[in-house]
Chain A
C-alpha cells in the first residue's frame, strides 16, 4: 500500500550521522528528506532527537542529503527556524533552506486572546444588537403591513401561499402525531387518578384547559420553531452568503415585501390553524384514552367539554398562537439577516434562532398565563 503513497520509497532513508573529521565533530545529514520519507512518526522521532541534541555550534554537512520543501521545513522546525552558522551544502540546498527560512521568519501575530469578561460583554452586546435588529425587522414588517392594509402596497400572495404550504401544510402530520401522543399520555395519567374519585368533570376540565389553553399553541409553536424557524434562518442566510439579497436590492426589488413578510405572515396565519389541528388531535387522543380507561362512552365525555371548559380558554390559545407565529417569524428572519459569509456562522445563527424562538415562546406563554389568569378557568 505504501508503494502508492511514496514514489520515493527507493530513496535511502533519512539519517543524521556523527563523523569525526580531523579531530572535530561533524554532523552529516544523509538520505532523502522528503515528505514521504519523513511522514512516519517512528522515522521522525530519532531524527528530531539527533537534530535537537546535535551541538548547536557543531558544523553540519548536507551535501549527501536530498530534500524537498517539506524536508527543509522539517530541518528548520527542528533547528527552531534558524540555520546553524556552520553549514556545508551545495548551492541548491542552501537556496531552498534559505527560501524556507525567510518564509518562516517574522513574528507570527499572536492569536487574539479573549478574556472571559470580554467574551461575556461581547455576548451581551451581541444579544442587544440582535434585539435591536429584531425591533428593526418588526418595525419594517409593521410599516409594510400597514401599507398593504391601507391599499398603498400590493401583497405578494403567491409567495405567501408557498410559505403557508411550507410552514403549515407540510407540518400537519408531525403536529398531529405529537399532539395525539401527548393527549393520550396526559389523559391516561389523569384518568388513572380521577377513577378513584369519579371526578370525570374535573378530568375533562383539566384536559380541556391544559390542551386548548397551553399545550395546543405551545406544542405547535415549538414544532414550527424547530421546523420552519430553522429553515427560514438558513434560507435567508444562504441567500445572504451567495449575494442573492444584494441582487434583490440592486434590482430594486424589496427583500422585505418579497422575502420576509410572506414568511412572517405565513407563520401568523398557519400557527393558529395548526393549533386548532393540534387541539383536535390532542383532545381526540385524550378523550379516547379516558373513555377506554374509565369505560365511559366517548360521546358523553365530548358532551362534557362545552359544559366544563370555558370558550375563552380556546380563544386565548388561538390568540397566543398568532403571537407565537409572529415571534418565530421575527426571530428567524433577524438571525437569518445576521449570518455572515462563512459556513460556521450559518450553523451558529440557525441554532441561536431556534433556541431564541423557543425560549421567547415559553417566556411569552408564562407572561400570558399571568396576564390572563382571571379570564376563563371558570
Chain B
C-alpha cells in the first residue's frame, strides 16, 4: 500500500445518535488526499453532528472512523492529540477566543506546541497575510472589533497556521454578504492552489460549493444519499437531492 492510497479521512458505516434519536445511520465515505469534498444537506440532516463525529469530538454510535489511515477508537484515543495538529478547523462563526487578540488567536496552535514566541508569531503573521488580513492592522485587534468577513479570515488563519494536511471548513461563508463571501471563496481557492491541502467543506451555500468542491456528499433522510462529482450528484434522481440543487444549473 503506497501512502497516496491512504485516504485522509474515512468513515466506515458511521452512525450518529443523540439519546434515543438516530440522526444518521451507516454513513460511509472517504476524503482522498488533495481533494475538496463538500458535505451538504438540508437543515437538520445532521451535517454538524456528523462533522463533530468526523473530528472525533464525540463517540460514534456505530461504525468506524479513520484519520490519516489510523483507526480512531473514540474521543479519548491518545493518538488524537497528535493527529489533531494535522487538521485545521474553521469553526462555524469563527469561534475566535474573545479574550485574546487576533495575533494571539492565530499564534495559539503553534504556542500550544511549545514553539518559541517569535517563531509562533512569525507563523501567525504569515498565516494572517495568507488569509488576506494585514497582520499589522488587525493583529492587535480583539475579535469583537472585527467585521464578520475579517473574523472569518482570522479564523481561517488560525486553521491554516500549522499547514494542516486536512482543512475542515464548517459553513465558512455563513453570515457574509455576497461580495465578501465571494472574496473569501477566492482566497480559499488561491490557498488550495498554493498548498494543495485536502479540504472537507460543510456548507449551505451552493456558490461556495460550486467554486470549491471536487466531489459532493449529500446527506438526507438520516443517511448518505449520494456522493460523487458535482455533475453526478446534481443529476442524481432523488427528490431531496433534486430540491437541494434546484437552481444549480442556472447558477453557472
- Chain A residues with CB under 8 Å of chain B are 1-2, 4-5, 7, 34-35, 39, 41, 44, 68-70, 72-74, 76-77, 81, 99-100, 102-104, 106-109, 111, 340-344
Contacts and interface: CB of A to CB of B under 8 A. Distances in A.
B122 A108 contact: no
Given A4-B68, A70-B163, A344-B98, A77 B122 contact: yes
Contacts of B79: 1, 4
A1 B162 contact: no
A103 B135 CA distance: 7
Contacts of B123: 69-70, 73
A80 to B, nearest CB: 9
A73 B119 contact: yes
Interface stretch (B23-31, B37-45, B124-132, B173-181): B124-132
A191 B97 CA distance: 57
A341 B98 contact: yes
A68 B129 CA distance: 15
B86 interface: yes
B136 A4 contact: no
Interface of B: 68, 70, 78-79, 82-83, 85-86, 97-99, 110, 113-116, 118-119, 122-123, 125-130, 135-136, 139-140, 142-144, 162-163, 165
Given A35-B163, A103-B126, A340-B144, A5 B139 contact: no
Contacts of A103: 125-126, 128-130, 135
Nearest to B163: A68
Given A39-B113, A104-B125, A107-B136, A74 B119 contact: yes
Contacts of B135: 103-104, 106, 108
Given A100-B122, A343-B98, 8 more contacts: A2-B82, A7-B165, A35-B110, A69-B130, A81-B122, A102-B129, A103-B129, A341-B144
A328 to B, nearest CB: 27
Contacts of B165: 7
Contact of B122 (A41, A104, A111): A104
The A interface, classified by DSSP as helix, strand, loop or mixed, is: helix
B32 to A, nearest CB: 15
A76 B122 contact: yes
A76 B70 CA distance: 35
B248 to A, nearest CB: 34
B126 A108 contact: no
A100 B163 CA distance: 14
B162 A70 contact: yes
Contact of A1 (B82, B85, B128): B82
A77 B118 contact: yes
B119 A343 contact: no
8 contacts: A35-B162, A70-B119, A73-B123, A74-B119, A103-B129, A106-B136, A109-B140, A344-B98
A109 B125 contact: no
Given A341-B98, A341-B144, A73 B126 contact: yes
B126 A100 contact: yes
A320 to B, nearest CB: 39
B153 to A, nearest CB: 14
Nearest to B136: A106
A104 B99 CA distance: 24
A194 B123 CA distance: 74
A99 B82 CA distance: 29
Contact of A77 (B119, B139, B144): B119
Contacts of A35: 110, 162-163
Nearest to B78: A1
B83 A4 contact: yes
B45 to A, nearest CB: 26
A1 B162 CA distance: 19
Nearest to A72: B126
Contacts of B142: 342
Contacts of B127: 69
A83 B79 CA distance: 38
A68 B136 CA distance: 23
Nearest to B139: A108
A162 B85 CA distance: 47
A109 B136 contact: yes
B66 to A, nearest CB: 12
A5 B82 contact: yes
6 cross-chain pairs, A with B, having the tightest CB-CB distances, nearest first? A342-B98, A103-B129, A5-B82, A73-B122, A344-B99, A103-B126
Contacts of B125: 103-104
A364 B73 CA distance: 60
Contact of B126 (A69, A106, A111, A344): A69
A107 to B, nearest CB: 7
A69 B164 CA distance: 11
A17 to B, nearest CB: 22
Tell which of B123, B127, B165 has the most Cβ of chain A within 10 Å: B123
Contacts of A34: 163
A75 to B, nearest CB: 10
Contact of B97 (A41, A68, A77, A343): A343
Contacts of B140: 108-109, 111
B5 to A, nearest CB: 14
Tell which of A2, A44, A100 has the most Cβ of chain B within 10 Å: A100
Contacts of A41: 114
Contacts of A76: 122
A107 B134 CA distance: 12
Contacts of A104: 122, 125-126, 135
B136 to A, nearest CB: 5
A132 B163 CA distance: 50
